[in-house]
Structure 1
Amino acid sequence: MKCREGCGACCIAPSISSPIPGMPHGKPAGERCVQLSVDNLCQIFGQPERPRVCSAFEADIEVCGNSSEDAIRLIGWWEQITAA
Structure 2
Amino acid sequence: MKCREGCGACCIAPSISSPIPGMPNGKAAGERCIQLSIDNLCSIFGDPQRPAVCSAFEADVEVCGSSSDEAIKLLGWWEQMTAA
Structure 1 runs (4+) deviating above 3 angstroms are none
State how 1:17-36 maps to structure 2 within 5 Å: 17-36=17-36
Q: Could you give the per-residue CA deviations for residues 16-59 of structure 1, whole angstroms, max 9, x where no partner exists?
A: 00000000000000000000000000000000000000000000
Q: How far apart are the structure 2 equivalents of 1:27 and 1:82?
A: 16
Give me the CA root mean square deviation: 0.3
The aligned counterpart of 1:65 is 65
The aligned counterpart of 1:40 is 40
State the TM-score, normalizing by the size of structure 2: 0.99
Where does structure 1 lack aligned partners over 5 or more consecutive residues? Answer: none
Where does structure 2 lack aligned partners over 5 or more consecutive residues? Answer: none
Q: What is the number of equivalent residue pairs in this alignment?
A: 84
Q: Could you give the per-residue CA deviations for residues 38-83 of structure 1, whole angstroms, max 9, x where no partner exists?
A: 0000000000000000000000000000000000000000000000
Letter in 2 for 1:58: E
Letter in 2 for 1:48: P
